[in-house]
């Protein structure tokens, strides 16, 4: 099956990135939002990003030519003739299922439905449609225009040709697709989350200070950033939420939130976005470790 027209649900951080990447790859893209103001915000972000890519000579066409393939809408009917729908709305099972159920009766029957969810089971989402065999996960990474990976998620119900189309579509977007199955966390979070939580436990147990642990992992392992810098970047609230979903699925201590993470979240110290987390961002260019 050939994909020509792409529908994206949600024009937030991830939806706008996915839409931009799909338009850059030559697809016609329609983005659905609940309100025009979110489309305006998302499109302003895409235009700014495309202009930067244009200046650096990283896109084949002008930013305007890519922009011309992008449309925003608040009407589900405008997605009726899409070949693939990529959902990137808020991380809430009921909200996602409601949206899939409504679109199932509108979007053409052979279209593929994909979700960018980080933690919700793809199998649970597909139960809200009459097209379980045409449902996959396409898990992108933030910021989508820069991060090369897409995890392509298969459920027990996914048809082989649908899965292959999703995998090839990932390549056409200029990403490197990896195959994975519908197990909470997929590949990256399955391995990354216990590592980040272990860094917090090591700090709690006095193994090293926040900046020493960060420097150790950066310089000793060649990681682009240490675990506490990464935790503050991802958001401590988001990480805390994911620990619950993963612990609930596997019931293993390595996925359980350490007490310090819970306390930081209760105090509203979410990391970079709230100005405080493991580091203090009063001077954003020179974050200082907090005394915890």
Ligand X SMILES: NC(=O)c1ccc[n+]([C@@H]2O[C@H](COP(=O)([O-])OP(=O)(O)OC[C@H]3O[C@@H](n4cnc5c(N)ncnc54)[C@H](O)[C@@H]3O)[C@@H](O)[C@H]2O)c1
Residues acting as catalytic residues: 118, 139, 151, 189
# chain residues binding ligand X, by CB under 6 A: 22
Residue 79: DSSP 8-state: G
Beta bridge partners of 178: 151
Q: Among 113-121, 174-182, 189-197, 217-225, which window interacts with ligand X (CB under 6 A)?
A: 113-121
Instruction: Examine residue 9 and tell whether it contacts ligand X (CB under 6 A).
Output: yes
Residue 128 CB, nearest approach to ligand X (Å)? 13
First-last CA distance in the chain: 55
Q: Which two tokens stand for residue 71?
A: 């449309």
Q: Which uninterrupted H or E stretch holds 172?
A: helix 160-172
Instruction: Examine residue 117 and tell whether it contacts ligand X (CB under 6 A).
Output: yes
Q: Among 11-19, 56-64, 221-229, 250-258, which window interacts with ligand X (CB under 6 A)?
A: 11-19
Among 20, 24, 116, 184, interactor with ligand X by CB under 6 A: 116
* C-alpha–C-alpha distance, residues 158 and 117, integer Å: 17
Residue 90 CB, nearest approach to ligand X (Å)? 5
Instruction: Examine residue 13 and tell whether it contacts ligand X (CB under 6 A).
Output: yes
Chain residue at closest Cβ approach to ligand X = 12
Residue 206 CB, nearest approach to ligand X (Å)? 31
Residue 181 CB, nearest approach to ligand X (Å)? 17
129 or 209, CB closer to ligand X? Answer: 129
Long-range contacts, stretch 271-277, CB < 8 angstroms, 24+ apart:
271/231, 271/232, 271/233, 271/234, 271/235, 271/236, 272/232, 272/233, 272/235, 273/235, 277/228, 277/231, 277/232, 277/236
* C-alpha–C-alpha distance, residues 228 and 211, integer Å: 8
Residues near ligand X (CB under 6 A) are 9-15, 32-34, 38, 88-91, 95, 99, 116-118, 140, 142
């Amino acid at each position: 099956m050939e994909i020509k027209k792409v529908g994206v649900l949600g024009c937030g951080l991830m939806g706008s990135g996915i839409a931009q990447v799909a338009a850059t790859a030559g697809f016609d893209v329609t983005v659905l939002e609940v309100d025009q103001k979110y489309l305006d915000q998302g499109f302003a972000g895409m235009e700014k990003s495309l202009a930067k890519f244009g200046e650096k000579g990283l896109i084949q066409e002008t930013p305007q030519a890519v922009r011309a393939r992008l449309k925003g809408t608040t009407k589900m009917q405008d997605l009726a003739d899409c070949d693939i729908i990529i959902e990137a709305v808020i991380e809430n099972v009921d909200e996602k299922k409601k949206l899939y159920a409504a679109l199932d009766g509108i979007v053409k029957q052979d279209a593929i439905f994909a979700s960018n969810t980080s933690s919700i089971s793809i199998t649970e989402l597909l139960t809200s449609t009459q097209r379980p065999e045409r449902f996959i996960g396409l898990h992108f990474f933030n910021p989508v225009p820069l991060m090369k990976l897409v995890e392509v998620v298969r459920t027990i119900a996914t048809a082989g040709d649908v899965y292959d189309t999703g995998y090839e579509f990932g390549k056409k977007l200029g990403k490197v697709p990896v195959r994975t199955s519908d197990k909470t966390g997929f590949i990256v979070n399955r391995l990354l989350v216990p590592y980040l939580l272990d860094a917090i436990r090591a700090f709690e147990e006095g193994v090293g200070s926040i900046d020493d642990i960060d420097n150790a992992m950066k310089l000793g392992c060649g990681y682009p950033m240490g675990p506490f810098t990464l935790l503050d970047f991802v958001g401590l609230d988001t990480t805390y939420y994911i620990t619950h979903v993963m612990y609930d699925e596997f019931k293993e201590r390595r996925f359980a939130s350490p007490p310090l993470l819970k306390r930081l979240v209760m105090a509203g110290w979410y990391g970079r976005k709230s100005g405080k987390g493991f580091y203090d961002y009063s001077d954003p260019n020179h974050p200082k470790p907090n005394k915890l």
